[in-house]
């Protein structure tokens, strides 16, 4: 009898979550993990710009885009597998892997810069912390609580960037980059230890690998199969296209914007840190207080549309602005656009059953990973094509060597605005309420899939059918 139960569990049929386990796992655990990981990386904002210039003195935008592009493409390839495995092995073990490998490149910034950038590229295989975190949150929250919880997690990302770049810039100026890297490494180790020793499993009765065979199929882990199956449901297709078009410019912007502020707009390291802090604080307000108000008053779909509208305005302003004050003004709009991600995440998570949240998160994270590959490379290429490049760091007391200007100071941002506008047009056709039949074609959701079918029982409830996003932020 026990063997039969084990076999059924390995097949992905049984997933029992006790109320006691749900009481132990808290959204607070997810918040702390996200905060520590991105606080460590935020400290490296100023040293990263220096190392990038020293390692690639020619074509910094282009090389930065290629490095981030490889990382993003690897995330796209691995996200469905990691998402599916988190439904089988549980969230904690996969969270430990993603946090460890995402933070692994940090100490190599001072040890060997070339190895550092190589490790950043390879770390894309596990750079999907948000997909596991969102599945973790979905495990321990009810549907009506989810938008608030997702907003809190996304706001934590912004909160981690409020002070860390400024602290990193201060330490770098007064004590050198080596100390900054050391502090970031220590915080990363603390984060890994927190996951290992403190974070409880949100799926206490999770299915495990046994001698009965591998519990998921390679088809479920194939990102290209995921993309093909997206078209089987119109609503899923609309969500995925919206995610792709809206996150493509965000990923490109995130990879190059601070370098753009320093090299083109002439921001000092202190000004960059202050800019990040301002946008971070406003993003926290937008993703906590304002998000819940918008969700209650104008609904889930209209909140997504509003966030996309702010994103379009922000990108146009970045693209046409050439003065520092314009960047500061556009930054306030960028903070408002941060409501898009948790709003989409809430919309999508409602369509996934309790035992498929990791698979669902993995699919959309895979699409975002694809954007993380295409966006930075595309932005770097557009900067290169328009001769927006600096080969010399600004001399003391003066402006850096001027670049060949064009009528549009930031061409990639205008491209991004067009992509976000396209996302807005697609999102108009999204339904306000996601029916329960998104996976099965009927309002009835089966209590359990057929034995041996794996975490996703039917073709309509595949990892390729739905999934929320992460955000990561446009910083």
pLDDT of residue 276: 83
pLDDT of residue 386: 78
Q: In the structure, what pLDDT confidence band is assigned to residue 426 with cuts at 50, 70 and 90? A: very high
pLDDT of residue 359: 56
Between the CA of residue 428 and those of 22, 235, 351, what are the distances in Å?
Answer: 36, 11, 19
* 440 or 116, higher pLDDT: 116
Q: How much is the mean pLDDT over the chain?
A: 74
Q: Which of 111, 133, 131, 114 is nearest to 122 (CA)?
A: 114
* 319 or 12, higher pLDDT: 319
pLDDT of residue 99: 94
pLDDT of residue 219: 57
Contact present, 360 and 348 (Cβ < 8 Å): yes
Model confidence at 251: pLDDT above 70: yes
pLDDT of residue 131: 77
Instruction: Provide the percentage of residues in the chain whose pLDDT is more than 70.
Output: 71
pLDDT of residue 65: 76
Domains parsed from the chain with CATH numbers: 20-204+218-394+403-461 (1.20.1250.20)
Contact present, 354 and 136 (Cβ < 8 Å): no
Least confident of 5-14, 57-66, 213-222: 5-14
Model confidence at 56: pLDDT above 50: yes
Model confidence at 452: pLDDT above 50: no
Q: In the structure, what pLDDT confidence band is assigned to residue 138 with cuts at 50, 70 and 90? A: confident
* 252 or 408, higher pLDDT: 252
pLDDT of residue 23: 46
Model confidence at 130: pLDDT above 70: yes
pLDDT of residue 475: 38
Instruction: Provide the percentage of residues in the chain whose pLDDT is more than 90.
Output: 22
pLDDT of residue 159: 80
Measured CA to CA, the distance from residue 372 to residue 360 in angstroms comes to: 18
Least confident of 126-140, 218-232, 250-264, 278-292: 218-232
Total-model pTM: 0.65
Q: What is the 3-state secondary structure (H, E, C) of the chain?
A: CHHHHHHHHHCCCCCECCHHHHHHCCHHHHHHHHHHHHHHHHHCHHHHHHHHHHHCCCCHHHHHHHHHHHHHHHHHHHHHHHHHHHHHHCHHHHHHHHHHHHHCCCCHHHHCHHHHHHHHHHHHHCCCHHHHHHHHHHHHCCHHHHHHHHHHHHHHHHHHHHHHHHHHHHHHHHHCHHHHHHHHHHHHHHHHHHHHHCCCCCCCECCCCECCECCCCHHHHCHHHHHHHHCCCHHHHHHHHHHHHHHHHHHHHHHHHHHHHHHCCCCCHHHHHHHHHHHHHHHHHHHHHHHHHHHHHCCHHHHHHHHHHHHHHHHHHHHHCCCHHHHHHHHHHHHHHCCHHHHHHHHHHCCCCHHHHHHHHHHHHHHHHHHHHHHHHHHHHHHHHCCCCCCCCCCCCCCCCCCCCCCCCCHHHHHHHHHHHHHHHHHCCCCCCCCHHHCCCCCCCCCCCCCCCCCCCCHHHCCCCCCCCCCCCCC
* 475 or 93, higher pLDDT: 93
Interval 170-210: pLDDT, tens: 898 889 999 999 999 999 999 999 999 999 988 765 444 44
Model confidence at 384: pLDDT above 80: no
**For 119, phi and psi rounded to 5 degrees?**
-70, -35
Model confidence at 166: pLDDT above 90: no
pLDDT of residue 104: 93
**Assigned token pair, 327:** 């960047």
pLDDT of residue 314: 93
Interval 213-239: pLDDT, tens: 445 555 555 656 655 655 566 777 788
């Amino acid at each position: 009898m026990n063997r039969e139960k084990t076999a059924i569990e390995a097949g992905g049929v049984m997933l029992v979550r006790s109320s006691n386990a749900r009481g132990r796992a808290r959204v607070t655990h997810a918040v702390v993990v996200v905060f520590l990981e991105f606080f460590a990386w935020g400290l490296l904002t100023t040293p990263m710009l220096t190392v990038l210039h020293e390692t690639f003195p020619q074509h910094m935008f282009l090389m930065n885009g290629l490095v981030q592009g490889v990382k993003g493409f690897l995330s796209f390839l691995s996200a469905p597998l990691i998402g599916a495995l988190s439904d089988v092995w549980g969230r904690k073990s996969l969270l430990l892997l993603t946090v460890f490998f995402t933070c692994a490149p940090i100490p190599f910034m001072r040890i060997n810069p070339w190895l550092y950038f190589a490790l950043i590229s390879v770390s894309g295989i596990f750079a999907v912390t948000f997909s596991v975190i969102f599945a973790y949150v979905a495990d321990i929250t009810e549907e009506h609580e989810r938008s608030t919880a997702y907003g809190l997690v996304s706001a934590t990302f912004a909160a981690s960037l409020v002070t860390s770049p400024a602290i990193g810039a201060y330490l770098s100026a007064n004590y050198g980059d080596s100390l900054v890297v050391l502090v970031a490494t220590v915080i990363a180790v603390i984060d890994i230890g927190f996951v290992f020793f403190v974070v409880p499993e949100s799926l206490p009765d999770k299915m495990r690998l046994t001698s009965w065979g591998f519990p998921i199929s390679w088809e479920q882990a194939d990102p290209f199969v995921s993309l093909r199956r997206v078209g089987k449901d119109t609503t899923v297709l609309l969500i995925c296209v919206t995610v792709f078009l809206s996150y493509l410019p965000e990923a490109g912007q995130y990879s190059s914007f601070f370098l753009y502020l320093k090299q083109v707009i002439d921001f000092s390291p202190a000004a960059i840190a202050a800019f990040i802090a301002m946008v971070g604080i406003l993003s926290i307000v937008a993703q906590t207080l304002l998000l819940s108000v918008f969700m209650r008053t104008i609904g889930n779909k209209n909140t997504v549309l509003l966030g996309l509208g702010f994103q379009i305005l922000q990108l146009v302003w970045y693209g046409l602005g050439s003065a520092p004050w314009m960047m500061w003004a556009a930054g306030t709009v960028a903070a408002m656009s941060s409501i898009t991600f948790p709003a989409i995440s809430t919309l999508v998570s409602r369509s996934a059953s309790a035992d498929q949240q990791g698979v669902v998160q993995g699919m959309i994270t895979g699409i975002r990973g694809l954007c993380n590959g295409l966006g930075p490379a595309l932005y770097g290429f557009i900067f290169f094509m328009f001769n927006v490049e600096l080969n010399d760091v600004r001399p003391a007391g003066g402006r850096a060597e001027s670049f060949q200007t064009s009528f549009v100071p930031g061409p990639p941002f205008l491209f991004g605005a067009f992509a976000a506008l396209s996302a807005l047009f697609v999102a108009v056709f999204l339904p306000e309420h996601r029916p329960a039949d998104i996976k099965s074609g009927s309002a009835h959701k089966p209590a359990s899939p057929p034995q041996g079918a794996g975490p996703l029982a039917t073709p309509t409830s595949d990892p390729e059918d739905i999934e929320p996003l992460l955000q990561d932020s446009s910083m």
